């Protein structure tokens, strides 16, 4: 019998933990037919509500439900990593607990694995029910990523993905601290089948991602999978050198022809402000990469578990 490991990150999800289980178990018949065993690994990402209690209730009912509970909130990326580390399955799937990743797609996804794919990924083709400004920036982010990163990062891609053991082992071999799973999936490669579905709105509870949290996350994604911003610093530097050279030639020629009227003090201040601004901006970019490198060098664990079931 083959084993399917289901990784479900939860952060303050007391309302949805049980619903997810019920919905997932609707596939039981399919699993029996395919002679598939399952294990559900709920990762409690330092929830402050009754999430842990809810998971324990399920564990008492069904021994195939497991839990890893973090000592604090480490973020969804860390939760997924912990899930990969604990999963024993031949196939591994990551899913959100809020049922935005419909478990009913699993049979179709399995079909593709049987056809020889290593991974079946999902993307939503609509963003119905999402705030407009959020969708707008999300689209811009993916557009930008496609331009500046060699790693394939697909617009609308969800973290809902069914993978073979081999692919998960490859993901686990990437021990980086600043994790951006969407990029990691693309980076490790393997034959991936994309399936599309319409956006499903969250059943209960509220989203755990504020606009700012998403913005910072997207910047992390850019830094983890592209060094293009570093090149910006050099390019702007070169542009300003060329500009300065032209200006020097212009001023020398003007002084030789018209004498030196000592004007242009205000414009000088403007240029000074502009150039120092650009310099600080570029230094900031370098600083961001340096800070990421600093965190990597520390080799801190990606998560700390407080309790495991």
Compute and round to an integer the Cα radius of gyration of the chain: 25
Helices (H), ranges, the chain:
17-25, 28-33, 51-61, 76-86, 106-114, 132-148, 165-172, 181-188, 211-225, 228-258, 265-298
Question: Per CB under 5 A, does 100 bind Mg ion?
Answer: yes
Residue 39: which of ligand UDP, Mg ion, none does it interact with, CB under 5 to 8 A by kind?
Answer: none
Largest CA distance in the chain: 93
CB of 203 to Mg ion, least distance (A): 9
> For residues 157 and 282, which CB has a smaller minimum distance to ligand UDP in the complex?
157
Residues that bind ligand UDP (CB under 6 A): 9-11, 13, 45, 73, 75-76, 79, 96-98, 100, 202, 207-209
d(CA 190, CA 203): 33
For the chain, how many residues are written? 309
CB of 307 to Mg ion, least distance (A): 25
> For residues 132 and 256, which CB has a smaller minimum distance to Mg ion in the complex?
132
> For residues 10 and 282, which CB has a smaller minimum distance to ligand UDP in the complex?
10
CB of 190 to ligand UDP, least distance (A): 23
CA distances to 25, 45, 51, 84, 242 from 9, rounded to whole Å, are: 18, 7, 11, 11, 52
CB of 285 to ligand UDP, least distance (A): 27
> For residues 112 and 197, which CB has a smaller minimum distance to ligand UDP in the complex?
197
Question: Per CB under 5 A, does 218 bind Mg ion?
Answer: no
Question: Per CB under 5 A, does 98 bind Mg ion?
Answer: yes
Query: CB neighbours of 287 closer than 8 A, spacing ≥ 6?
Result: none
CB of 274 to ligand UDP, least distance (A): 39
């Amino acid at each position: 019998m083959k084993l399917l490991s289901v990784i479900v990150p939860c952060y303050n999800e007391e309302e949805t933990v049980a619903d997810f289980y019920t919905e997932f178990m609707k596939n039981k018949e399919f699993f029996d037919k395919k002679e598939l065993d399952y294990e559900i690994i709920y990762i409690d990402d330092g929830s402050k509500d009754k999430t842990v209690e809810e998971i324990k209730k399920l564990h008492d009912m069904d021994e195939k439900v497991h839990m890893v509970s973090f000592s604090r909130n480490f973020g969804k990326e860390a939760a997924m990593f912990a899930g990969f580390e604990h999963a024993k399955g031949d196939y591994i799937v990551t899913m959100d607990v809020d049922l935005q990743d419909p478990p009913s797609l699993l049979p179709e996804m399995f079909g593709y694995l049987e056809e020889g794919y290593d991974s079946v990924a999902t993307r939503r083709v609509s963003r119905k029910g999402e705030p407009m400004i959020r969708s707008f920036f999300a689209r811009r982010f993916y557009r930008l990523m496609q331009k500046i990163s060699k790693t394939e990062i697909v617009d609308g891609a969800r973290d809902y993905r069914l993978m073979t053991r081999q692919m998960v082992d490859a993901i686990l071999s990437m021990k980086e601290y600043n994790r951006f799973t969407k990029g990691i999936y693309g980076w490790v490669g393997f034959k991936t089948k994309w399936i599309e579905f319409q956006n499903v709105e969250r059943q209960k509870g509220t989203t755990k991602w504020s606009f700012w949290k998403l913005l910072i996350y997207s910047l992390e994604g850019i830094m983890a999978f592209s060094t293009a911003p570093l090149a910006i610093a050099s390019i702007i530097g070169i542009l300003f050198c060329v500009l300065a050279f032209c200006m020097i030639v212009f001023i020398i020629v003007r002084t030789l022809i018209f004498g030196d009227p000592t004007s242009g003090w205000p414009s000088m201040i403007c240029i000074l402000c502009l150039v120092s601004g650009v310099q600080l901006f570029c230094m900031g970019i370098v600083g961001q990469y340096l800070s990421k490198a600093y965190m990597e060098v520390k080799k801190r664990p990606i998560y700390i578990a407080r309790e495991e079931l």
